[in-house]
Amino acid sequence: MACPNRSLPGIDPIRSAMLTVALLSSAISALPACNDPDAGTNDEDEDDDVSEGPDDGSTPSDRVRCEDKMVLDLGFVEGDPSTGIVTNASVDGGFASTIDATAGGLVNAASNPWIYMRFTDSGLQTVAIDDFEALNSTDWHIAAKRYEVRLNSGTGGPGAVTGAPLDGFSFEEVTEAPSDVTLVEESFYTDDCVLIDDGAGLGDPRYLLTPWWSYPGCVATTRLPFLIRPPEGDPLKFVVESYYGEDQTRCNEEGVMGTEPAQFLWRWTFLP
């Protein structure tokens, strides 16, 4: 079922596993999604918010630079879109979104696509496109695969989604878009299409959102908030709350690996 942009917030039930995130569990309220009378009642509805694309007049920019390199470096896969599920819960005027970015698991990730999504008034919606379609699509704002997260702009895609880290702030402290922050596009290739890696030693691109994680022996969340501006709407604040479905807090505090990796929990809120 398509669930296009809506003026009322729509919420899918958050999965029980995610309720273990104590930080959020008490703040979650469930609301039906997309005016579907059956929505929000079982897991089968969790991925119903599939966007067929916006009608916002946005058009792809010129061909994405370094496409061929990106296809190989980012492991693009043509075929079916990601089957990853996205759920949304309203939290403090924004959303807590869970994203299944497992891509078939660590070993199978090379043969599974990224999951593409867009921020809407009714929550984070999946965009049912494959990696190659994403090269020509402005429908999506953000994409994820395992621990990699990229925006649709610059070298990351044909869109105009910009962003910037909000150093020195906590997610909660940000109540409006700071005026002194320069928003930029993704830029993980040089002019000569040489990959700019993140310095972690694995050859991964330096995405704009890469600072969401650190590695003290597991994938820890830095809780660094980001400002993200989709081209057609208000900016939003964004933070990666957890990467592991379980035991993120222990990872952050003790460096012990959690379980259910790539089961993201993102918090984000449109800003005035």
| Binding residues vs another protein (CB under 8 A) | 68-69, 71-80, 105-107, 109-111, 132, 146, 148, 193, 195, 197, 200-205, 215, 217-219, 257, 259, 261
Between 45 and 204, whose beta carbon lies closer to another protein?
Answer: 204
Between 96 and 219, whose beta carbon lies closer to another protein?
Answer: 219
CB of 20 to another protein, least distance (A): 18
- Residue the block writes with tokens 């290739």: 189
CB of 72 to another protein, least distance (A): 4
Between 144 and 177, whose beta carbon lies closer to another protein?
Answer: 144
Buried-state track 241-258, b at ≥16 Cβ within 10 A, e below 16: bbbbbbbbbebbeeeeeb
CB of 189 to another protein, least distance (A): 12
Between 11 and 251, whose beta carbon lies closer to another protein?
Answer: 251
CB of 154 to another protein, least distance (A): 18
Residues 6 or more apart whose CB falls under 8 angstroms from that of 115 comprise: 81, 82, 84, 86, 99, 100, 101, 103, 126, 143, 144, 145
Between 93 and 216, whose beta carbon lies closer to another protein?
Answer: 216
User: Measured over all CA atoms, what is the biggest interatomic distance in the chain, rounded to whole angstroms?
Assistant: 52
Report d(CA 221, CA 239) in Å as an integer.
9
CB of 192 to another protein, least distance (A): 9
The backbone torsions φ and ψ at residue 11, rounded to the nearest 5 degrees and listed phi first, read: -130, 135
CB of 247 to another protein, least distance (A): 12
Between 22 and 107, whose beta carbon lies closer to another protein?
Answer: 107
Between 73 and 121, whose beta carbon lies closer to another protein?
Answer: 73
Residues 6 or more apart whose CB falls under 8 angstroms from that of 10 comprise: 3, 31, 32, 33, 34, 35, 39, 49, 88, 122, 123
User: Order of strands, edge to edge, in the sheet holding 115-120?
Assistant: 50-51, 123-127, 115-120, 142-145, 148-151
Bridge pairing between strands 236-242 and 226-229: antiparallel
Q: How many residues comprise the chain?
A: 272
- Residue the block writes with tokens 């030693």: 201
CB of 124 to another protein, least distance (A): 24
